[in-house]
Structure 1
Amino acid sequence: MKLSRLTPVLFVVWLVFFMVANNILPVTDPVESNYALTAKEMVLSGNWLSPQIYGTYWYDKPIMIYWLIALAFKIFGIADWVVRLPSAIFGALSVAAMFQTLRTFSRRWLVGLVGSSILGTSLMFWAVAHGVITDMVLLYTTLMVMMYAYKGLNENSSTAMVVAYVFSGLGVLTKGPVALVLPGLILLVYVALCRSKQMLLRLFDWKGILAFLVVAMPWYVYMYSAHGQAFLDGFLGLNNVTRATQSEHPEDNVWWYYIAIFLGASLPWTGAVIYGMITGFKQHHKWYVYCMCWGVGTVLFYSLMATKYPLYTFISLVPFSILGTLGAMKALRPGRPRYVPWIVVGPTLLLWIAYVGASFFAPWGYYGLLYVLAGVSILGLLWFWWTRQRYRLLSIVVIGTMLISSIVVLEGLVPLVKQRSSINLIPVVDKYNGDVYYYNGYSTSLVYYTGHEVVRIKGDSSRWDDKDTLKHRSAEWDKKYLMEQVTEDEFIKRLAEGKQIMVIVPKGEINHFKQSSIAPYVGEYSEAGSSEIYILNKRQAYIEE
C-alpha cells in the first residue's frame, strides 16, 4: 500500500487527542495497576523476558504490553502520562491505518477520512486509547492482520499473507493464542462463504506460517524452558482455558451482554453502524461479507465464553466502523428523506446530552466550557441537518465529539478515576514504616506508587450478613492473586506479636470489616479518599486524626 501524505498527519492529530489529560490521570485498580507495576519491576529488576509482579513471576499476559510500557519508562521515566503512552500511540496508529486501508481499497480519501474518524471518536475506542491495557495494541495488530489477509485472499498475494502472519505473531505476543485462533476462525468462515479453494490454499501460506513462528515462538519457548509447567498452568491453563470455561464474573454471564456493549461502544455512530449492516446486506459485496464475519463473528465467539469482559469484543469496532462508514455515507446521500440523517444525528445528541447530564451527578468539575461547547455543537448539528449540508454535519459530529470528550476527561473523569486509584493513600503510606494490610481487596496501584509491600487480608465471608446474596466464582480464580495473603485468624496472630500495623479498608468493604473477627481489635480511624485507615498497636501518630 502506497502511504498517503495525509496518513502521518492524521497519526499526529489523533495522538494529541488521545493524550489529553494523560498527565493527570492516575493509574487505577484493579487492571491498569497490574500492567504498570509489572513494567516497573521489569525496569528495576533488569529482567526483560519473565514478567514479575510483587517480586513473583506471573503469567497473566504475554510480554508485549510490558515491553512497551517498560521501554517508555526507560526513555521518559516513570510517570502517569508515560504509562498511558503505548495505548495512545497504538490508538493513533490504528486510526491512521484505518484511513490508509480504506483509502487504498476504495480509492477515495473521503471514505478513509470518514471511516478513520468514526473509529477514533467511538466511545469505547476513545476510552481505551487513554487506558493502561493490552487491548489497543491487540486491536492494531488484528486490524493489520485482517486487512492484509483480505488483500492476500482476494488478490492471491503471498506477500500480503506473510505480512498478515507477522502481525498475527505480534498479536499472540500481545494477548496470547486468541490473537491467532479468532482471526483464523473468521477467515475460515469467510473463505467458506466465498467457496474458493484458491483462497483456502492461500490462507495456509507456508511462508506466512513460518514468519508467524519466527515472530511469536522464541519468547514462548524461552518461557517454557525457564519456567516449565508453571508457565503452562498459569498462562494456558488459568488465563486461557479457565477464562473460557469458568466465569470470572458470574453476575455478567448473560447472553445479551455483548449486545449491550455494542450499542454503547460505537456511540455516537451506533445508528450508522446498524444502518450500514442493513443497507449493505442488499448489495452483498465481498468487503461487506468480510466485515460482518469479522464483527458479528467476534461477538458470537466471546458470547460463547464463560467469562464476560467489556473489552473482549473491542476489536469488533474496526469492522463495525467500516460498516458505519457505509451507513453514514448512505444516510446523508442527497435526496434522502429528512428523517434518515437522524440515524447519525440522534445517537450523537444522545451522547452529548448524556455527557452534559452526567455533569450534574459529578459536581467536582468546572463544566462551563462543556455547556458552551455542547450548546454550540448541538446548534451546529441541527443547522447542518436542516440545511442538508451533509459533509459539514459529519464534521461537526467528529469535531464536536472530540472537543466535548476532551472537556469531559479533564473536568469529570480525572476526579472519578482518582476514586479507583490509591492516589489519596500515597501521602499516608509514604511516611509509614510498618506493615500495611488491605482488607478483602487490594490496591496494586498503592504498591506501584509507593514501593511499599502490602498484604491482603482475605475476609471471612461466613460472618457477613449478605453472604447468601453474594455470587461466588470458582476457587480456581484465587490463583490470580500473587500478593502475600493472610486469613483473618492469621492476621490476629500477627497482631498479637505487638507490631504496629496499618489496616486499609476500602469503601466497598467497610460493612464487611465491621462484621469481621478483626473489628473488636480496632478503634479510631482516619479517612483517606474513600478508604478508612486503622493503626493497630499504635505507638506513633502517622496520620492526622
Structure 2
Amino acid sequence: MKPLQDYLNAAFASPWMLAAIVVFAFFWQIWSLPLMDLDEGAFTEATREMVASGNYITPHRDGEPRYDKPILTYWVQAAATQVLGFNELALRLPSAVAASLWVLALWLFVRERLDALTANVAGMVMALSLQVSLIAKAATADSLLNLFIALAFFEVYRFYLRPDAGRRAAPVLRLWLWMGLGFLTKGPVAAFFPLVASLLFFWSEGALRHWLRAVLSPLGWLIFLLVAGPWYLAIYLDDGPGFFASFFLKHNAARYGEAIHGHGGFFGYYFVMLPLILLPFTGWFLSLLPAWRAAWADPLDRFLWIWFLIVFVFFSFSGTKLPHYLLYGCTPLFILMARHRDLLTGRWLAFIPPLLLVGALLAMTRALETMRELSSKAHEVAIYNDALALLDPTYFYALWAGGAALLGLFLWSRPPLWQRLILAGVVQGLLVFGVLAPRALAVLQAPVKEAALTARRLDLPTVVFNTSMPSFSVYRGAITPNRPPRPGELVFLRVDKLDQLARAVPDLRLDLVYRRGPVALMVVREQVRPTGGTQPGGRRGD
C-alpha cells in the first residue's frame, strides 16, 4: 500500500486537483449571495439598463451616464444574462470565468518556462488567495482586467526570449491585443504597467532596442486601435466629450492625485494590505524576501519582481487606494512562491497568518459590540445589532472546527509545508465563503434586496433619498431616481436619513412599508387635514 505522502504528491501534481480548486474558489456561492453595494450594484444596474434600453454604447446608472469604466465588462455581463437570465449567477459568471482563464494563462506560462508541478502549485496559490477569490466572485471589472494584464506580461517575457523576433512576432501582436482589450475594460492602466515594467526589465538586460521593436510595432498599434478604438469613437459620437472628461480626468488623473469617494490611505497602506491580500500565503511570500538579491540574478525572477514592484510603488503614491489595485502586481508573486516553495521552511511563519484570521473571526462579537458602543449613526448600529444576532453557535462551531483543522495541518510534520498551506487555503475558503460571507451579506445586502422586491411588488413610482445602494434598482428592475419624494411615491433610504427626509417633506405623511437593518422603505401620502378647520384662538369651526 502506498504511503499517504505518495497520494498527496500525485494529487498536487494533477491538473484535476487544480481544476477542482478553481471551481471551489471561483464558482461556489456565486449564485446564492445578494449583490454587494457599491461596486457590484453599480456595474449590474448599468448592465440592466443597457439591456433594457438597447443602448450598448453609453452605460447608464439610474438614468444618468456612468463614466466610471469603459464598456467591455457591461457587454460580457449583458451576454451572460441573455443566456442565463438576469440573476446573480449570470452577472457574476463573467468574473468567475475570467479568473479561471487567468489561472489557465498563468499555468500555461509557468509550465512552459518551468515545469508542470510548479504550474499547478502557482495556480492553486493564486486561486485560493483571499483577494483573488473575492474578485472572482464579484460582478465587477477586476477579474477581466487582471486576466488581460497578466496575458500582456506573459507575452512581454515570451518576446524577450526571442531576441531575433521582429515587430510582427506573435508575442508582440498578442501583447497589443491584450492591452487593447484591457483598455476596453478599465482604460490606461492595462497598457501602462506592461509598457513601463517591460521598459525597466529590458533596460536591466541591456536590450532596449529589442523593447522598442515591440513598442513601435505598426501592426501592433493597428491591432490595439482596432480593438479599443471603435467603442471610444462610438461613445464620443453618442455622448460627446462627457465620457473622456470624466473617465480620463476624474477617474484616472484625479483619482491618482487625490482620494476619490473617501478611498484614501497613508503611504504604507499596501505594506499593511499585502499580507491580507495574500492570505493564507502571507508567510510563504515573506519567505521569499531574504533571497531576493540572489533571485535578481535570474532573468525570470527579475522580470517577476519588477512587475510586482512597479505596481506596488505606483499605487503607494496614489491618492486613491483600494486593496484590489495591488492585484495587478500579485500574479508574479504566485509564480515566485511556487518556484521557490522549498524556501518555506518555518511552520510558525507559514501558519500564524491563517490562524490569526480565525482568531479575528472568533473575536468578532467583541469587536462588533465595541463598534456599536462607539457609533452614533442609526444605520451602523442597526448593522451591528443584526450582525451580532447572526453570530450564532453554528458560526463559532465552524470557526473552532476550521481552527482545529489549521492546527492539525500545523502539527502534521510529514508533508512539505507548501502542501499543508494549500490545504489551509481550502479551509480558509470554506470559512470565508461558507460561514462569514453569507452572514455579512445577510446583514448588509439582504435587506436592500428585500426592500427592492417589496417595491417591485407594490408597483408604485419609487425614488431613493440621499442613499447610494444601486443594487436596489437592480432587484427592483427599474431606474430609481435620487430625489425627495412626492405624494403617492415609495422612497427607499438608509435609516440614518429618516430625519433628513422628514425635514425635506414636512407637509407630507411618511408611512413605513419595510424596515430592516440599515434600510427602510416608506410610502409618501398627503397629510389628512381636519374637515372643519380651526377658528382663531384654537376653536374648531362648525
Same fold by TM-score greater than 0.5: yes
What is residue 445 of structure 2 aligned with on the other side?
A: 418
The structure 2 residue matched to 1:528, chosen from 484, 491, 515, is 515
Query: 1:279-318, CA deviations, whole angstroms, 9 ceiling, x for partnerless residues?
Result: 1322322222222221121122122222222322221221
Superposition pairs for residues 127-142 of structure 1, below 5 Å? 127-142=134-149
Residue 308 of structure 1 aligns to which amino acid in structure 2? Answer: K
Query: 1:154-194, CA deviations, whole angstroms, 9 ceiling, x for partnerless residues?
Result: 33342212212111111111101121122211211222222
SS at match of 2:42: helix
Task: Find out whether 1:95 has 2:112 as its counterpart.
Answer: no
What is residue 409 of structure 2 aligned with on the other side?
A: 381
Cα pair 2:509 2:525 within 8 Å, conserved:
no
What is residue 254 of structure 1 aligned with on the other side?
A: 266
Cα pair 1:166 1:212 within 8 Å, conserved:
yes
Distance 1:214 1:269, change over 3 A: same
The structure 1 residue matched to 2:275, chosen from 243, 263, 281, is 263
* Shift in Å, 1:44: 2.2
SS at match of 2:31: helix
Residues of 1 paired with 2:508 and 2:234: CA distance? Answer: 49
* Shift in Å, 1:138: 0.6
The structure 1 residue matched to 2:55, chosen from 35, 47, 59, is 47
Residues of 1 paired with 2:220 and 2:397: CA distance? Answer: 52
Cα pair 1:380 1:396 within 8 Å, conserved:
no
What is residue 475 of structure 1 aligned with on the other side?
A: none
Task: Find out whether 1:175 has 2:193 as its counterpart.
Answer: no
SS at match of 1:425: helix
Task: Find out whether 1:367 has 2:374 as its counterpart.
Answer: no
Residues of 2 paired with 1:163 and 1:7: CA distance? Answer: 26
Task: Find out whether 1:85 has 2:84 as its counterpart.
Answer: no
What is residue 196 of structure 1 aligned with on the other side?
A: 207
What is residue 306 of structure 2 aligned with on the other side?
A: 293
Superposition pairs for residues 110-129 of structure 1, below 5 Å? 110-129=117-136
Cα pair 1:28 1:422 within 8 Å, conserved:
no
What is residue 373 of structure 2 aligned with on the other side?
A: none
Superposition pairs for residues 317-332 of structure 1, below 5 Å? 317-326=330-339, 328-332=341-345
Residue 52 of structure 1 aligns to which amino acid in structure 2? Answer: H
Task: Find out whether 1:408 has 2:435 as its counterpart.
Answer: yes
* Shift in Å, 1:394: 3.7
Cα pair 2:21 2:124 within 8 Å, conserved:
no
- Percent identity reads 22
Query: 1:408-439, CA deviations, whole angstroms, 9 ceiling, x for partnerless residues?
Result: 256434424525x6212124312334443323
Residues of 1 paired with 2:23 and 2:216: CA distance? Answer: 35
Residue 167 of structure 1 aligns to which amino acid in structure 2? Answer: W
* Shift in Å, 1:398: 3.5
Distance 1:410 1:54, change over 3 A: closer
The range that moved more, 229-238 or 32-41, is: 229-238
* Shift in Å, 1:104: 1.4
C-alpha root-mean-square deviation of aligned residues, in Å?
Answer: 2.9
* Shift in Å, 1:395: 4.3
SS at match of 1:252: coil
SS at match of 2:41: helix
Residue 73 of structure 2 aligns to which amino acid in structure 1? Answer: I
Cα pair 1:58 1:234 within 8 Å, conserved:
no
* Shift in Å, 1:255: 1.3
Residues of 2 paired with 1:302 and 1:29: CA distance? Answer: 24
SS at match of 2:522: strand
Query: 1:367-414, CA deviations, whole angstroms, 9 ceiling, x for partnerless residues?
Result: 377246414522431232x34644642442243334333422564344
Distance 1:428 1:392, change over 3 A: closer
Distance 1:56 1:14, change over 3 A: same
Residues of 1 paired with 2:42 and 2:184: CA distance? Answer: 17
What is residue 352 of structure 2 aligned with on the other side?
A: 346
How many equivalent residue pairs?
A: 487
SS at match of 2:280: coil
What is residue 326 of structure 2 aligned with on the other side?
A: 313
Residues of 2 paired with 1:257 and 1:163: CA distance? Answer: 34
Residues of 1 paired with 2:202 and 2:454: CA distance? Answer: 60
Distance 1:224 1:533, change over 3 A: closer
* Shift in Å, 1:74: 0.7
* Shift in Å, 1:359: 7.7
Cα pair 1:369 1:407 within 8 Å, conserved:
no
Residues of 2 paired with 1:170 and 1:121: CA distance? Answer: 26
Residue 283 of structure 2 aligns to which amino acid in structure 1? Answer: G
* Shift in Å, 1:46: 2.5
Residues of 2 paired with 1:253 and 1:145: CA distance? Answer: 29
Distance 1:327 1:347, change over 3 A: farther
SS at match of 2:266: coil
Task: Find out whether 1:105 has 2:113 as its counterpart.
Answer: yes
SS at match of 2:523: strand
Residues of 1 paired with 2:278 and 2:497: CA distance? Answer: 34
Cα pair 1:87 1:129 within 8 Å, conserved:
yes
Using the size of structure 2 for normalisation, the TM-score is 0.81
Cα pair 1:119 1:321 within 8 Å, conserved:
yes
SS at match of 1:128: helix
Cα pair 2:129 2:280 within 8 Å, conserved:
yes
Distance 1:417 1:147, change over 3 A: farther
Residues of 2 paired with 1:220 and 1:129: CA distance? Answer: 27
* Shift in Å, 1:148: 1.2
Cα pair 2:465 2:493 within 8 Å, conserved:
yes
Cα pair 1:166 1:215 within 8 Å, conserved:
yes
Superposition pairs for residues 419-458 of structure 1, below 5 Å? 422-457=448-483
The structure 2 residue matched to 1:272, chosen from 272, 275, 284, is 284
Residues of 1 paired with 2:173 and 2:108: CA distance? Answer: 19
Residues of 1 paired with 2:143 and 2:38: CA distance? Answer: 18
* Shift in Å, 1:153: 1.7
* Shift in Å, 1:16: 4.5
Residues of 2 paired with 1:243 and 1:111: CA distance? Answer: 38
In structure 2, runs of 5+ residues without a counterpart are 1-12, 369-386, 529-542
Cα pair 2:37 2:469 within 8 Å, conserved:
yes
Distance 1:120 1:19, change over 3 A: same
Using the size of structure 1 for normalisation, the TM-score is 0.81
Residues of 2 paired with 1:175 and 1:15: CA distance? Answer: 26
Cα pair 1:153 1:203 within 8 Å, conserved:
no
State the structure with more CA Rg: 2
Task: Find out whether 1:244 has 2:244 as its counterpart.
Answer: no
Residues of 2 paired with 1:393 and 1:231: CA distance? Answer: 49
Residues of 2 paired with 1:326 and 1:95: CA distance? Answer: 16
The range that moved more, 245-254 or 443-452, is: 245-254
Residue 436 of structure 1 aligns to which amino acid in structure 2? Answer: T
* Shift in Å, 1:32: 0.9
Cα pair 1:274 1:327 within 8 Å, conserved:
no
Cα pair 2:507 2:526 within 8 Å, conserved:
no
